[in-house]
Structure 1
Amino acid sequence: MTYIETIEKRSTSRKLAPNYRVLLHNDDFNSMEHVVQVLVTTIPNMSETSAISVMMEAHKNEMALVIVCNQEHAEHYCDVLKSHGLRSTIEPAE
């Protein structure tokens, strides 16, 4: 008698972790130069030009998008911005 073995292959789809937005909020305490310097030194690959744009957007609109990344990195960047006296929050990017 011959046995036939059937191997079931389950489809495994990886669910990607949701991304988060790191937001910078306007404040009346920090100088524009300080905000730009913190952004350039905190956010990977952020140029001074991009940092100025983010700072100006926050200044004009009360809030600006800094970066979109995974939750762990978003929490880290938010914490570092806060540790330099900036107002920052994260939210799901959807």
Structure 2
Amino acid sequence: MSESAPKPTQAPAQAPAPVTSTVSPSKTPAPTRPTPRHLPRWKVLLHNDDVNDILFIVLTVQDIVHLNQKDATLRTIEAHRTGVSLLLTTHQELAELYQQQFTSKNVTVTIEPEE
């Protein structure tokens, strides 16, 4: 009979214990978010136009500022009768964009700060 040497037994591998740290709650309050400031509002004003057809102006207003036909018509007629009509108010950058878009269609629009 042959004698065999005892085989060494290995303990199953164990994962290392997770490292935890204890952090005491801080006494300082959490930082607060700054309150958002509203951007200043700007008026986009449509001026009377003796060159372009009223229908063209109504369609241009509808196309650029997305007013429905009734509102675009009312504002165009107001500009025709009184010389100027308020189309909308928005922040300055968007008002400038609207002004450029109307200018590209040869329709007179100005912008000014809302009071």
TM-score where L is the length of structure 1: 0.86
1:50 pairs with one of 43, 68, 71: 71
Gaps of 5+ in 2: 1-25
Query: 1:71: Cα distance to partner?
Result: 1.1
Offset at residue 11 of structure 1 (A): 6.3
Rg (Cα) greater in structure: 2
Specify the alignment match of 1:15 in structure 2.
37
Give the letter aligned to residue 93 of structure 2: E
Q: Percent identity?
A: 30
Q: In structure 1, how many angstroms separate the alpha carbons of the residues matched to 2:85 and 2:69?
A: 15
After superposition, give the CA deviation of every residue in 1:15-64 in whole Å (9 maximum; x if it has no partner). Answer: 111111100110210110110010011113x1011110010000011000
Counterpart position of 1:60:
81
Q: Which has the higher contact order (CA 8 A, sep 6+)?
A: 1
User: Which of 34, 48, 64 matches 1:26?
Assistant: 48
Structure 1: unaligned runs, 5 residues or longer: none
2:59 pairs, out of 37, 45, 60, with 37
Q: What is residue 93 of structure 2 aligned with on the other side?
A: 72
Amino acid at match of 2:104: S
Q: Which structure has greater strand proportion?
A: 1
Q: Residue 84 of structure 1 corresponds to which residue in structure 2? A: 105
Task: State the TM-score, normalizing by the size of structure 2.
Answer: 0.71
Note the C-alpha offset of 1:6: 3.0
Higher helix proportion: 1
Q: CA deviation at 1:7?
A: 4.1
Query: What amino acid maps onto 1:55 in structure 2?
Result: T
